[in-house]
Amino acid sequence: MTKRYKTSMVAILAVVTLVSICASSQNLDVAPSPGTGTIAFPWDKLELQLSSQRGAQRVTVTNGKCVLPAGTYDIDYVTLMSTDQQGVQWRMRSDSWSESVEVRADSVTRLDIGPPFTARVSVSRHHVLQGATVKFGLEITDSKGRSYRPPRPQQGGRSVPSPRLALLDAKGSVIGTYNFEYG
């Protein structure tokens, strides 16, 4: 071995030792990565926020799959997304997750979310200053009973205008028009 080679090896060993000492003093994990696993969803496009020991992270899923470091994740929320034939994007968000998902290295974990959905409508009458208002409530649950907020349509990143209702008499004449409101 040449003197230059020995000097280089000593320098490399010193740097590795110094990095290990610094990492240990700061409680940093210098262990190898835990590997990655895949979560598969029965829904093509969605967003979810996951929390783990590494912190919170927002994940956008396309094609129904995402790859994550192996570990246990709490699901903070899930937003399902779909675009209709007119280009309007519909989003439904669920914050009612109590379970965790375990991602194992080199494995696929299936997370059952979504269909079939059940919709329940409630109707109530409220009196406000301008007269009576009828309130329609919509509760949507998925196959596991998780609640979702009613969908909010968007087109081009903007909310689609609220729908309107026109009442017609037997002759087809408009006898009243009403605006729906979200929220």
123-132 pLDDT tens trace = 887 766 566 6
pLDDT value for 161 = 76
Cis peptide before 151, with omega less than 30 degrees from 0? no
Domain ranges across the chain? 1-31, 36-113+154-179
Give the β-pairing of 100-103 and 108-110.
unpaired
Is the domain 36-113+154-179 a CATH 2.60.40 member?
A: yes
pLDDT value for 154 = 73
Positions in the chain whose pLDDT score sits under 70? 1-33, 127-132, 181-183
pLDDT value for 183 = 58
Question: Could you tell me which residues are beta bridge partners of residue 158?
Answer: 155
pLDDT value for 19 = 41
pLDDT value for 115 = 82
pLDDT value for 11 = 43
Instruction: Give long-range contacts, CB 8 A cutoff, 24+ apart: 110-113.
Output: 110/39, 110/40, 110/41, 110/42, 111/39, 111/40, 111/41, 112/42, 112/143, 112/144, 113/41, 113/42, 113/43, 113/46, 113/78, 113/80, 113/142, 113/143, 113/144, 113/146
